[in-house]
Amino acid sequence: MTRARALAVAALVASACTHPHGPPAATPPPGVAITLYADHAGQTLAVIDDRRWIDLTDDRIVLSDVEPGVALPSLVIEGLAGPAHLTLGACARDRVEPDAGSGAGSGSAGDMPSGLGANAVPPPPPPPRVFGGARSRRPAVVSTEIQLAPGNAPPALELVLGATIHCAVSAPAGRYLVRLLYSSSTLGYHAEHELTLARADRAHVVSHLAITTPAWRPRDGAPLAAMVTAFDGLPGGASAPVELAHGRVVLDGSTGTLALPARDVPARIRRVLIASEDLTAPDDPTATWMDARRNSNGDEADALVWVWLELPGTQLAPGLVQVRVNYPGEAEHDVVVTADSRAPVEETAAALRLPLWADDDLRASLSRAFGGAGEAELLERFGATVMNVGQTTREVFVEEKLRAGGRRTVSHASPSTPGLAGNILRMRVVVAPMGQEKVGYVVSYKN
């Protein structure tokens, strides 16, 4: 077992154990609780806590309605109530051999090959929710996949994970309450946000989360529902996950929704000329200043001035953002911003920046020239011209990300010295109607 899998198993076992100094264990009621995580890179993680009654008639139990993305090394099964102690053995999933024409086929019970790849085991999930003031008692088993002999494992590309798990069991016949606790990478949420700017400094935000639910069968004659809690961020990430919403969602294959409270947040519209994206800059954002001299010919290039919406101190869960701008001084716009279009204001700022539209009234051009003493020094002379052909005075920020490597010094700046925010040089200019402004500086890079 790999270290990652061992950690996942250990975390689940520890989370299901009774706290040594806590009150006596309480038996949780039947039901499903799902915790969903998502980050802005598109990664998702679900932790499913499923408590259900089963009727045991022989030495094997069949557990249907299990998320196909379950990593079996993370699966914990325990008996919560019943006529006797439940002793379980190894577990295996159904495998589905897809039909060659449709990509889907009928399921057949069988043993899946052990191991899902280095990236299949998600971070250890958080402890389960507390029921009745105490945690559930020690799990009866941590399930493992049955090993297949080399050469007998079907090719990975020909397998589709099923939604049923078979486990060996040793216990008298009867009705048992069992608990399944596991993590999955196939269940997640998608956020949609509506932002309305009816004034220059505030935005009204309405958000909801859409969850494509699994089609699980009704239990006890009623559609199965889960209490779902959604977080922005992943466990073990750079920052702690933030809870977004909590509510009841029916698991019938439809799309469930969780609404977030509407709120008003600080906002500002900014026009930005991002000099790092001009035609003469190197394509690779990690390129050093020596790469810049080899990849740039110093020609002048036209550039766009983009209108950005900045939301200082605001987090929005990953997903689409619909922005409506409608206040005096700005033309009315309705814009849809995709999740991958977001950008931080700068490397050190806790603000969200959303690109809205290119300002047709602002024309810009950029120029660069390079010099210096061989490979020991690079002198980069930067210049930008912004022209306003509209009827409204505009504030424009010229931004450039400094190149990596070397000692960096800014000199010969005009009309003022640019500010430094993280790794971003920023210069502000105000351009009158039918006017133009020029900015320039020299950056010296030395080894």
Which of 296, 286, 291, 326 has its CA nearest to residue 309?
326
Q: Over 60: is that where the pLDDT of 110 sits?
A: no
pLDDT tens-digit series, residues 23-44: 445 778 899 999 999 887 788 8
φ, ψ for residue 277 (rounded to 5)? Answer: -105, 15
**Percent above pLDDT 70 for the chain:** 70
CA distances from 206 to 39, 228, 259, 332 (A): 20, 19, 8, 19
Which of 129, 135, 132 has its CA nearest to residue 21?
135
Q: How much is the average pLDDT of 103-112? A: 38
A 10 A CB-CB count for 340 gives 10
Q: Which CATH class is domain 268-305+359-446?
A: mainly beta
Q: Are 366 and 274 in contact (CB under 8 A)?
A: no
CA distances from 52 to 49, 55, 179 (A): 10, 10, 6
pLDDT tens-digit series, residues 148-202: 333 333 333 333 456 788 888 888 999 999 999 999 888 899 999 999 999 999 9
Token reading at 349: 């700022």
Our CA dihedral for 326, 332, 337, 341, rounded to 10 degrees, sits at -100
If one compares 183 and 119, the residue with the highest pLDDT of the two is 183
Q: In what order do the strands lie in the sheet with 343-344?
A: 343-344, 351-358, 306-312, 268-274, 394-401, 424-431, 419-421
Token reading at 395: 């504030």
C-alpha to C-alpha distance for 309 and 327, rounded to whole angstroms: 14
The reported pLDDT for the residue numbered 42 is: 80
Q: Over 80: is that where the pLDDT of 329 sits?
A: yes
Q: How much is the average pLDDT of 84-92? A: 83
φ, ψ for residue 306 (rounded to 5)? Answer: -95, 145
What is residue 290's DSSP assignment? H
pLDDT tens-digit series, residues 216-241: 999 988 899 999 999 998 888 777 89
C-alpha to C-alpha distance for 128 and 48, rounded to whole angstroms: 9
The reported pLDDT for the residue numbered 146 is: 33
Residue in the structure block whose two tokens are 């036209």: 302
DSSP string covering 362-385, please? EEEEEEEEEE-SGGGEEEEEEEEE
DSSP string covering 296-351, please? -----EEE--EEEEEEET----SEEEEEEE-STTS--EEEEE-GGG-EESSTT--E
Q: Over 70: is that where the pLDDT of 206 sits?
A: yes
Q: Are 226 and 33 in contact (CB under 8 A)?
A: yes
φ, ψ for residue 295 (rounded to 5)? Answer: -105, 0
Please provide the size of the chain in residues: 447
The reported pLDDT for the residue numbered 367 is: 87
End-to-end CA distance of the chain: give it in Å, rounded. Answer: 47
Q: Over 70: is that where the pLDDT of 106 sits?
A: no
- For residue 441, list its beta bridge partners: 382
A 10 A CB-CB count for 135 gives 21
Q: Over 90: is that where the pLDDT of 278 sits?
A: no
C-alpha to C-alpha distance for 206 and 171, rounded to whole angstroms: 52
Predicted TM-score of the model (pTM): 0.69
pLDDT tens-digit series, residues 291-323: 444 444 555 678 889 999 999 888 888 889 999
CA distances from 38 to 45, 129, 231 (A): 6, 19, 7
The reported pLDDT for the residue numbered 139 is: 43
Q: How much is the average pLDDT of 397-423? A: 85
Residue in the structure block whose two tokens are 């080399």: 150
What is residue 288's DSSP assignment? B
Token reading at 286: 């990690």
The reported pLDDT for the residue numbered 14 is: 35
The reported pLDDT for the residue numbered 197 is: 95
C-alpha to C-alpha distance for 125 and 110, rounded to whole angstroms: 28
C-alpha to C-alpha distance for 358 and 417, rounded to whole angstroms: 26
C-alpha to C-alpha distance for 269 and 199, rounded to whole angstroms: 10
A 10 A CB-CB count for 17 gives 15
Domain spans of the chain, in order of start: 3-187, 268-305+359-446
Query: For 169-203, b where at least 16 C-beta lie within 10 A, e where not — what string?
Result: bebeeeebbbbbbbbbbebbbbbbbbbbbeeeeeb
